[in-house]
């Protein structure tokens, strides 16, 4: 067990944190005359999802906004009959107008709230099997902190604030991180598109300590350099950890293609698992350059890995014409769907790329195929892969279903938290 991963910080009790005081503060809310905190009044019938503890309040579910809350401010959420439902953050610019902080009327939303929730979230991961020194510590809604992502790469914390509510509490979050992880450097990577929907600008800021250009981590015996300053997400795809392990275990002696490789993750795991040779294919030259540095870092022979830069759709077609084959192909494309309107187009993209890959697989080969689009449901994705196999004239069997690693949990009340799906298919 990596000692750095235990969190033993002792928090003051809830009472000492002011919960009692706050209960007293909200009692007048129900008397209607005195508004202590701004309120969202929910449309009759639309409180059902809140009663099921779903954390999102869509603007269409809000009948009235009372008390002129500022962007990100905490609001009391009430039903038409004055029933207290939740305490939430207010996002005036977003379709998701409220995100619930707590369903407990006695729980104050203050600095200690964030300290407590971050600690709980990190502690939840204490008994995770330790195969890596890189871990997601907070996974937004699914860890009770809507809009906060916190990843730890060795001694470097990288966080993202995705919502107006999290932006409002930025200082509290930084203070909590400094207290809970005093030895760690801290980087903010709030340069994500969703912030625009909340009316928030992008921000990248070194908050504490010094961070090298590339941070070295290890996972299942393989080392990776992570560009926390400018790489995708917070620097890497921690969510694919379990699937990298599965690929590594299946790769022994095989000719592997890692399509949409980014900085080489799956391909390096394959080399770690004894692959005969890996081809890393991506449209980004800098990502492939980092894949090459990662190969060197691990001492894998130069001849064991090629990088190919270009458009996967085109290159796979060319290789098919040339009769090239692989024993194992990983297909982990970027998110093709970002709205319901783009789902049809995305389905065609997924089908096309799976078809191209299936045609390149040698008999008995394996396809590891993924979709990281939350809007793409498991059943639909399986059908797309099945259709692609039919068109490619191949038959196959799913031998394993793959999903995001456990440090990217899915709260039972928040099914939207499940976004990554994959299939390991044995192809004839």
* Residues carrying an active site annotation: 372
- Matching residue, tokens 């709030």: 190
Token pair for 182: 């005093």
> Taking the complex as a whole, how short is the minimal distance between the CB of residue 236 and ligand SAH, in angstroms?
6
If one asks whether residue 368 binds ligand SAH (CB under 6 A), the answer comes out as no
For ligand SAH, give the closer residue by CB, 242 or 282: 282
Report 219-248 residues binding ligand SAH (CB under 6 A).
237, 240
Measured CA to CA, the distance from residue 57 to residue 423 in angstroms comes to 33
> Taking the complex as a whole, how short is the minimal distance between the CB of residue 131 and ligand SAH, in angstroms?
16
Report 323-362 residues binding ligand SAH (CB under 6 A).
332-334
Measured CA to CA, the distance from residue 132 to residue 130 in angstroms comes to 6
Show the site string, 285-314: x = touches ligand SAH by CB under 6 A, - = not. --x-----------------------xxx-
Residue 173: closest CA among 152, 156, 188: 188
For ligand SAH, give the closer residue by CB, 333 or 396: 333
Task: Find how far residue 401's CA is from the centre of its chain.
Answer: 18
> Taking the complex as a whole, how short is the minimal distance between the CB of residue 223 and ligand SAH, in angstroms?
15
Measured CA to CA, the distance from residue 247 to residue 240 in angstroms comes to 10
For ligand SAH, give the closer residue by CB, 90 or 266: 266
Is 382 within 8 Å of 411 (Cβ atoms)? no
Binding segment for ligand SAH (CB under 6 A), chosen from 3-11, 97-105, 168-176, 257-265, is 257-265
Binding segment for ligand SAH (CB under 6 A), chosen from 41-49, 59-67, 129-137, 258-266, is 258-266
Other residues' Cβ atoms within 10 Å of the Cβ of residue 252: 12
If one asks whether residue 192 binds ligand SAH (CB under 6 A), the answer comes out as no
In what side-by-side order are the strands of the sheet with 255-259? 305-309, 277-282, 255-259, 326-331, 361-371, 421-427, 396-403
Binding residues for ligand SAH (CB under 6 A): 237, 240, 260-262, 265-266, 282-284, 287, 311-313, 332-334
């Amino acid at each position: 067990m990596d000692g750095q991963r235990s969190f033993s910080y002792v928090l003051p009790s809830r009472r000492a944190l002011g919960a009692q005081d706050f209960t007293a503060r909200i009692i007048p809310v129900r008397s209607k005359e005195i508004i202590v905190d701004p309120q969202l009044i929910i449309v009759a019938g639309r409180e059902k999802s809140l009663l099921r503890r779903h954390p999102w309040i869509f603007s269409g579910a809000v009948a009235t906004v009372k008390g002129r809350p500022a962007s990100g401010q905490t609001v009391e959420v009430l039903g038409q009959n004055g029933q207290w439902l939740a305490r939430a953050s207010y996002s005036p610019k977003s379709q998701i107008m409220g995100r619930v902080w707590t369903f407990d009327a006695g729980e104050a939303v203050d600095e200690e709230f964030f300290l407590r929730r971050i600690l709980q979230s990190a502690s939840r991961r204490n008994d995770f099997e330790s195969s890596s020194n890189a871990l997601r510590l907070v996974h937004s809604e699914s860890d009770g902190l809507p809009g906060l992502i916190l990843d730890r790469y060795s001694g470097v914390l990288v966080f993202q604030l995705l919502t107006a509510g999290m932006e409002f509490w930025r200082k509290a979050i930084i203070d909590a991180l400094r207290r809970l992880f005093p030895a760690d450097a801290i980087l903010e990577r709030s340069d994500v598109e969703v912030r625009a929907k909340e009316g928030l600008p992008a921000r990248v800021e070194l908050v504490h300590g010094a961070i090298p250009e590339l941070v070295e981590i290890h996972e299942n015996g393989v080392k990776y350099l992570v560009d926390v300053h400018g790489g995708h997400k917070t620097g890497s795809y921690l969510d694919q950890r379990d699937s990298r392990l599965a690929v590594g275990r299946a790769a022994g002696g095989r000719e592997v293609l890692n399509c949409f490789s980014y900085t080489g993750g799956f391909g390096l795991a394959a080399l770690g698992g004894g692959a005969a040779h890996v081809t890393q294919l991506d449209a980004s030259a800098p990502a492939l350059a980092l894949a090459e540095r990662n190969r060197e870092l691990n001492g894998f022979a130069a001849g064991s890995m090629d990088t190919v830069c270009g458009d996967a759709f085109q290159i796979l077609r060319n290789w098919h014409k040339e009769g090239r084959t692989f024993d194992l192909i990983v297909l982990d494309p970027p998110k093709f769907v970002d709205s319901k309107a783009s789902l049809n187009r995305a389905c065609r993209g997924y089908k096309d790329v799976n078809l191209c890959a299936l045609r390149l697989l040698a008999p008995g080969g394996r396809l590891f195929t993924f979709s990281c689009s939350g809007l793409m449901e498991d059943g639909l994705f399986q059908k797309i892969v099945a259709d692609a196999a039919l068109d490619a004239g191949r038959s196959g069997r799913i031998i394993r279903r793959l999903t995001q690693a456990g440090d990217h949990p899915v709260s039972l009340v928040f099914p939207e938290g499940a976004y990554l799906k994959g299939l390991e298919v044995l192809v004839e």
